[in-house]
Amino acid sequence: MSSANFEEYKVWDASTRVFHWVNFICVVLLIFVGMVMLYKKELGIVSIDAKIALKTVHVIVGYIFSFNVLWRLVWGFIGSKYARWKNIFPGKGFIKQLGDYRVSIKSSSPQQYLGHNPLGRLAVSLMILLLITMMVTGLVRAGTDIYYPPLGSFVAEYIVDANTSPDDIVPYNSAGTVKSKVSELKSFKKPFGVIHLYSAYILMFIIIVHIYFVIRAERKEGGSLISAMFTGKKLFKQKPVDIED
Ligand code: HEM
């Protein structure tokens, strides 16, 4: 279908669009609850119960986030052309495409891409790696902090003493646990918390850069790339460079 001299092209399939917006909502919620957790003392949240409740909310949203990321990872192998990893992660010929694109955006006729442009591919690849890092470190902390799945039952079994059932131990309460094992657990989980926090900061920075470049590309190159994440379609006056006849 075309309107005026614009041609409409299908790009993002429904699965990719649903992933994008579920991910966006989960990441905003996770950053919000994560920040409340980080500044809990300053916010006057001091009770252990409130601390555990915040972590539980964060972890439950984290599960939705994790399923969504895992599904997207699979979709990158079985989904439609532009959703596939081979069209997203930099591979053969990428450096040349990036160079050509960078030259073109300084000219009066920037190259238009139906899928992600080469700079977008770099940003998306980095974001996916960060999302995986957040998922893995978050799931480890969910198990080691509040004994939640998938690792929680193994952790509880490891630190519990001989007279207690793993189901009866409570986060942040040493009753029924072996002191030396709890201290081993503390050293084990610490680096995961550090990576989780610093990756969250990097992710926040990349999200801001991503939004800035998406708005800039939309204004300079057209192609309706923001509305395409809702409709799945982009509009172009000329044929995009990454489409075959
Ligand atoms: C993009 C996704 C995510 C973001 C931006 C995020 C952000 C944060 C932030 C800012 C904190 C506070 C760090 C601190 O208190 O030191 C935190 C802690 C935590 N997150 Fe996430 N998180 C994400 C995903 C997840 C996932 C998927 C899970 C698990 C299902 C998870 C579980 C946890 C846990 C258990 C903590 C507490 C760790 C601690 O007390 O140090 N997070 N997260």
Peptide bond into 150 cis (omega under 30): yes
Q: Which residues contact 208 (CB under 8 A, 6 or more apart)?
A: none
Residues 84, 74 contacting (CB under 8 angstroms): no
Mean local confidence (pLDDT), 89-96: 96
pLDDT tier, 245 (very low <50, low <70, confident <90, very high otherwise): low
5 vs 12: which has the higher pLDDT: 12
pTM: 0.94
Tokens of 58: 């964060």
* Pocket-forming residues, ligand 1, beta carbon under 6 Å: 27, 30-31, 34-35, 37-38, 55, 58-59, 62-63, 65-66, 134-135, 138-139, 141-142, 145, 193, 196-197, 200, 203
Q: Tell me the CA–centroid distance for residue 229 and ligand 1, in Å.
A: 27
Residue closest by Cα to atom 32 of ligand 1: 138
Ligand 1 pocket test, pick from 25, 33, 37, 187 with the greatest ligand atom count within 8 Å of Cβ, gives: 37
Architecture of domain 9-236: Up-down Bundle (1.20)
Give domain limits for the chain. Answer: 9-236
Residue whose structure tokens are 């439609």:
80
Q: Give the model confidence (pLDDT) of 155-213 as tens digits.
A: 999 999 999 999 999 999 999 999 999 999 999 999 999 999 999 999 999 999 989 98
Which of 79-83, 113-117, 197-201 is predicted least confidently? 113-117
Residue 153: which residues within 8 A CB-CB, separation 6 or more? 147, 166
